[in-house]
Structures are given as structure tokens and as C-alpha cells.
Amino acid sequence: MLGVESRPLQCRDTPGDNPVLMNRDSGPLGLLWLYMKNLLVCRSPEMWHQSFGLLGKSYAHDTTGSFFLGKWLRVPLYPVSLCSAVVDVAIQDYVADVAAELIYQNKSQTSTEVLFVFPLGPHMAIYSFQARSEDAKVHAVLQDEVQQPHEATGGWENLEYLRDQSEYPGEAFACFLGTLSPGREVVVTLRYVQELPREPDGAARFVLSPTLNPYGTLYVWNCRTSKLHYSLLLTASLQSPRGVVDVQANFALTPLIYTAQDHSTAQAPLLQVSLAGSPQCHHDLELLVYYGDPTAVSAVVEKGDPEAPPGSLLGDPMVLVTLAPSIPEAVPGQRQSGEFIFLLNTTFLEHAQDSLLFLLKSLPLGCYFNIYCYEETSVGIYSQSVEYTQDNLTEAMRRIPSTGSSLGDSNLLETLRSVYNTPRPHRHPRQLFIFMAGLPPDVEAIAAEVCRHRNSHRCFSFCFSEDSAALAMALAKETGGEAAYVSSDSSRSLVVLKCLKQALKPAAEGVSLSWTLPRGLEVEVLGGTPQSIFQGQHNLLYAQIHGQAQDTTVAKGVMTLQYSLDGQDVTYTIEFPLCPQGDGRLAGHRLAARCLMKRLLPESVSGSGEEPRHRAVEISLTSGIICPFTSYVGVRTPQRVTWYQRPLALLPPRQSLIPCQIVELRGSRISSCYPKSIWVPPGWLTAVRASWLALRQLTHDIAALPQRRACSKACKPPPPLFSSLKYVDPMEFGLCSSTLWRWCPEAAAKCQELVALQNADGSWALSSGLASVLEVDEDEIKGKMPDEVMEPSIWATVMAVTWLHRHDEYYQDLCELLEAKAVTWLCSQAVSQLDKCLETANTLLGSSVKPSVFRL
């Protein structure tokens, strides 16, 4: 049995923290408890980066050689030392293929059970994994979940422990590799593909996974060290038909070597360094690749796999199309196109009338809107969306039921189908605002219905309970919208308005692609083409070329992009080669497979027969990309053979099956790295439900933060590790306003009264109700109206806007859109009169609002 001398141990969490003293009790139990407690105390945010990679779990042995540690007692996982990493990256426009070889060594004095963990970032998919040591070789194999010819028999408790005890939520690939003896090494070979984000200036942004570059501080059993004992070799090949113009990074670069005269391809050993002392950097390794002539559309052609049959997904050429129209900023408060549909449940109707008021009053002139109370009826307040006018707004507010006590038989699924069957106003991009209090029935059917129409609209979904959080996130992610968890009345209106500001971004509408190809060739756009592209978005499409060209002398095809922007038609034309070159790594094909399998998911859920499912399984098994209907299994093959004396024979290695799967880490701690979910398959509801914990905790933490507005800017978190789903970050909601809003019910009531009096065009009428809110006698307001003002509503609107700015600390975030609409209306009515009106209003209200508020 192990015995440890009892003496205090000091451990620090971060520099400057007070040391934590702990006593070691003699005996194994004391050692294990100390070990668990020590690791928990010694953790910090950087530990998340260190915790990925190869994790070990040591066991204490007694004198008989049996394991002391039973299933009822688990020690925490800790990182196994990374000795070297060799990473090769191939980037084509906005697609990357990464091949990595990682060598780990068990530097402890005991045998260690090891578990490889790799975080899956946004739009990332693993297609090959294997690990080898002196004793065995492990490789991950995909299989049909229904048939499941292979199933691991042991080791699942390691994955369950990882899922439960990880500090941060997120999706990760995990594979149990068995036991690693002291001093032994294991070599992990990993390949994955990834869609790269496009920066506003057109650059492709690649970030090296923290598993491949575990920067920061390593934590060991009884001390903290800032040394990283590993070497890293990073090489990259870059390709774009527009030419590689420049490469920037946050580390030292070697000069690029262009391998083509037109600079369409380039190679370089970007980073080769041995990190045996202090780390060279304490941040992610980032690479920005700039291409020539950034335009609204680009195309890269990737040749197919020569070993795959013609006509198959991997066999035919693939065109990687990037759509990124240049869309200027919209002026707040001006007329704007768009269709806004609000799907409300009974809880929202009963408890969120104020949020609905702010939401409807903040819509811009020129748009269309409709409201559905889906637990009452699947029919909208209007038979189809109507133009946003004062009359239609007043009638809508009158028709909305004040309570949802009398429930009907309709549900969210029926209402969504009703919405999708309603024609959309021409050149008005459709956006849905869905409010959910609990988990609605037919969850998978709802997700499939939204996914089927994802190219025609965006969803902004709001959940008020943990049950509906996973569904809200899935709907928003599938359509490029945003999801938010609302846990308190104080933050509800701010959350909703924050999403509305995103929804009001201008968009390119009526997007279409047309192709000119030689006779005999045709193009299939996998996943379809989005009808709208909003400002700040870019869409990566996969188009496959099928057939055989009858005229082989034609070497190029032509693609034409058309869309409408501010009522003007825009057209771009681009040529692409029909006989592409390439390195054969098929990054575009594999990401296209992922896209196609996602499209097949709603067809299989909606009961279209077994064909969509069979096709998805076939694509998954041939491409190596997991889909909702396939799963991983680890196959372990011993490297050593066994000899038997009687009779003398050499038996082949015996294979065994080990746990290997995509796990959703539940997370037990919230930090500055906020989680963002990624697409998950049916059964996904169970996998991502735990993510609501993070959203709820974030909302709860708002009330505990300081009430100074400056804090909301100073506390802005760094970019998260997982960002495929765009979340509304409660840290950016305006913490001062949300907190004071809850603490000042009188101010809330006054603001709601003022907003209720505002007209759809942004103006206010001079009335006794307005005078009551402003706390000024109506006769005095009329008597102080400047002589130059011919229209009382102009004077009333100036007074209202001035009053809002007098209480700016309360209303800035809530009334920003309302105020912009009011100022736009004033500027269109009486610019010459505003100076005198503002001067008089400041005197009457005792304020000092500046002319810049009225764009003077």
C-alpha cells in the first residue's frame, strides 16, 4: 500500500492568489482525496486548453498487485505530457484540411489509463484517427448505428467521467486508448476538415486547435510550472484562384514560397520551434490568409477522388463557392425592408406584454409584420403579413390576447407550417422571433421543419426554461439566427431588443446562382442557395459538377451571382476551371458530405421512407464524416504476437473494441470562455440540453456584477472556443440598464407609458398622456411651444426625445431604436426648427441634451 508523509502542501491558482494549505493524510485514501482536491484548487481558465489532448488517470496498487481504486472512487483526469507536434495545414480559400501527428509520453512513475480528447470547434469534422504505441494500435471506425455490428464492452466509465467532470461545456471527440506504462510513448495521428471564418476584410482565419498547441501553464501534482516541454512544426499550403497576396500571423513567419507564377498556390514552413523553456506565446496561434481581389463571390474547384466511382459524392469535382456581398450599414430609424413574424406562447403573453410593446414599437417603417399566438391558434392575427403602419399596428395590439388561459389545440409545429405556407412579401427577407416557455411536443419534427426551410428565413429563438433551451439553440443555428435564454423579467426586454438590432441589419435579397457549362455537364448545389444574405454574413456553398463534357476543348465554366440590394439589381460573373488540380486531400468534398447529410436529416425525420437515411449512412461511411445515423467505435489491435509451445504456432493479433465517440461535455463552471453549441444529430436534444446551464448562469451573473456601465465594456470576454452558434451575449446587454431597470419599477412604468404613446412613424402627439409622463402641465407645454413650430407633434416629439435623454442611464439600451426612428421623423419634418425646440425643451425639463442627439 502507498504511504505518504503528512505535511502541508501549497498550491496557487493564479499569480497573486493566497496559497491554499492542505494536509496529506497517510494512506491511499488520504492521498487520493488530496490529489482530487489539489487539482480542483489548482485550476484556472488556461487549464481548459491543457485539459484537451491526452488525459491520464493513475491507479494505486496494493501489495498483491490488484487495483486499489474501484469504480466508486475516481481520481480526476490530468494532461499527459505532449513531446512533439507536427501539423500540416492545406487551405483552399475558406476551407482547411489539417493533418497532425502528436507524440505523448507518460512521465509519471505509474501506469496510466489514457484518454485522447479533441475539442471540436465550429464547422469542424474529424475524418481519420489512429493511435499507436509499443503495445497496441487503435483506430476509430464509423458504423451504422442501427446495425451496430461492433460495440465496446468496457471503459465507458472514463467517457462518462469526462462528460460530467469537465469544467467547460462543448463538444469533443474522445477515444479511450488503454494503459500507458511509465516512460512509454503513444503516437496519435489525427485528420480533420474545417470551414474557416471570413474576416470583414476578406481574410481567411485559421486558428490552431489548443490540443495541437497547448499554450499557457502546465499543472502537475504538487507544483505549478510555466515550462512547456514540446516541439511544434507547423507547415501550410495555400491555394486560391484569386492568388495568395499576404499571410499574417501572431507568431514569426518564414517567407512564402510561391509554387505557381500567378501566385495561386504557396507553401511555407510557417513555424518550427522547440518550446522547452518558457512558452513563446500565451495565446492561440492564428493565421490570416489574404487573397487578391476580394469580391462578392469566389469559387475554388476541387478535383474528385480518382479511386471513387464517377457520379459519386467523392468522385466528381466540387466547386467551393463563397458568397460575401458588400452590404453598407443601414442608417438607424430609416425605412427598411423585411418581414418580421412573432410566434408567441401563453407564458410570453401573460408575463411579457412590456417586451412585446418595445418589440413592436421598435420596428421600422417599410417592413411587414405578423403575430401568431401558437398555443391559441395556428392562424396569425392577420391572414398574411401586413405593412407596418399606424393603423395595422393599432389593430394588431387590439387583437393580441392579454392572457393565454384558454388554450387551443394548436402547437408550434402546426404554426410553423402555417407560416411557411404563407407567401412572403417580395424582396422582404423573412425572420421569425420564436418564444418558448417549455418544451413543445414533436421536437424533432419542429427541428426538421425549420431545417427544411432554412434557406428562406432566419430564426431568433428565446427560451424561458431549461426544457426548451436545446431546441431554441438548434433552431437559431440552423438558420443563422441567434438564441437567448431569458431567466428574469429585468433582462427580457433587453435580450429581445438586442436580437432585433441584429435582425435589422440590411440584407442582399433574392440571391440566385446560374451556371454556364459545356453540354453534358450539370451542377447540383448541395444544401441549396440562401435567398437572403445579411450584413456581416458569408455563405460557403458546395456545388458538384456531374456528367461528361461533350466538348472537351472548353476548359472553363461560368457562374453568375445575382441579388437585389436597396432595390437595385446586382450581378457578378466569375470563371472557374473544369479540369482542376489539387493535392487530393478532398477537404471540400468531406465538408460537402457534412452539408448534404444535414439536408437529409429533416427528410428522414419527416417520414420520407428509409432512402434518406440509407443515403446519409452511405455518405458517412465513405467520407469518414460522422452523421446522425452513424457512430464511432475504437478498434484496438495488439502489436505483439503470442507464441504457444503446444502446438508451436503463431496466432494473429486479437482485436478488441474500446469506447470512442463524440461527447457533449456538460461543464461544471462558467468563465470568460462562453460555450457555443454546434450541430448535433437526432438524439441531439439529450446531447445539448446541458448547455442551458451556461446560459442560465450567465443571466444570473448579470445581477451580481457592478452597476457601472463602464464595467460592461471592461468585462467583455475573449472570443470563445466554440462559436458555430451565434449567441446573444448577456454581457453585452448593457448591465447598468438591466440592473437599474429591475430596481426602478417607477422608471419602468414611465418608460412603458411613453413608448405606448409613440406612433409607428416615430412621432408623438401632444396630449395629456404625454404631459403626464413628462410630469409637466399640458397647458405649460402648449404655452412654451416655439412660435416657429407649425405642427404640435414636432414639439411633442422633441420633448419626448429630450426626456428620454435626460434619463439616459435608464433608457438608452431599451429606447435606442425608438429614439432613432423619432429623430429620423423629426429630420424629415422640420430640421430648421429643431435648434429652437431643443433649447426650449432643455429649459422646460431642466436637462442639457446636446444638438448632436438630433443629428444637428
**Structure confidence at residue 135 as a pLDDT band (50, 70, 90):** confident
Give the CA count within 13 Å in the CB-facing half-sphere of 486.
31
Q: Which residues have a Cβ under 8 Å from the Cβ of 682 and sit 6 or more positions away?
A: 444, 601, 605, 628
Q: Which amino acid is at 128?
A: S
In this predicted structure, the answer to whether residue 731 has a pLDDT above a threshold of 70 is no
pLDDT digits (tens, 9 = 90+) for 560-587: 999 999 889 999 999 998 888 777 899 9
Give the residue ranges of DSSP H helices in 573-651: 587-605, 611-623
Q: Give the least confident one: 108-112, 424-428, 454-458, 738-742.
A: 738-742
Instruction: With a cut of 50, say whether residue 312 has pLDDT above it.
Output: yes
Q: Which residues pair with 178 in a beta bridge?
A: 114
Cross-strand partners of 650: 643
Residue 387's nearest CA partner among 372, 370, 368, 371 is: 368
Which residue did the predictor score with more confidence, 235 or 422? 422
Output b/e per residue, 709-735; b: 16+ Cβ within 10 A: beebeeeeeeebbbbbbbbbbbbebbb
Grid cell for residue 374: 401558437
Share the mean pLDDT of the chain. Answer: 75
Tell me how far apart the alpha carbons of residues 299 and 482 are, in angstroms, rounded to a whole number.
28
CB-based burial label for 519 (10 Å; 0-12, 13-18, 19+)? exposed
Closest CA to 462 of 495, 430, 491: 495
Q: How many CB atoms lie within 10 A of CB 582?
A: 19
C-alpha cell at 794: 414636432
pLDDT confidence bin for 470, thresholds 50/70/90: confident
pTM, rounded to two decimals: 0.79
The residues, ordered by sequence, that sit 6+ positions from 192 with a Cβ below 8 Å of its Cβ are 97, 98, 124, 125, 126, 127
346 pLDDT higher than 90? no
Residues paired with 432 in a beta bridge: 341, 459
Q: How do strand 539-547 and strand 521-526 relate by DSSP bridges?
A: antiparallel
- In terms of pLDDT, which residue wins out, 395 or 652? 395
Per-position DSSP letters for 744-772, written without gaps between them: -HHHHHHHHHHHHH--TTS-----HHHHH
* Cross-strand pairs, 174: 117, 661
Query: Which has more confidence, 43 or 705?
Result: 705
pLDDT at 798 over 90: yes
The rounded distance, in Å, linking the Cα atoms of 548 and 557 is 13
Per-residue confidence (pLDDT) for residue 551, from 0 to 100: 86
pLDDT band for position 52 (50/70/90)? low
Least confident of 493-507, 781-795, 806-820: 806-820
Task: Report yes or no: 461 and 481 within 8 Å, Cβ to Cβ.
Answer: yes
Per-residue pLDDT tens over the stretch 508-526: 999 999 999 999 999 999 9
Question: Which pLDDT belongs to residue 223?
Answer: 25
pLDDT of 39? 27
Beta bridge partners of 11: 20
| pLDDT range class, residue 482, cuts 50, 70, 90 | very high
Mean pLDDT of the region 206-214: 76
Write out pLDDT tens, residues 359-397: 999 999 999 999 998 877 778 899 999 999 999 999 999
pLDDT value of position 263:
73
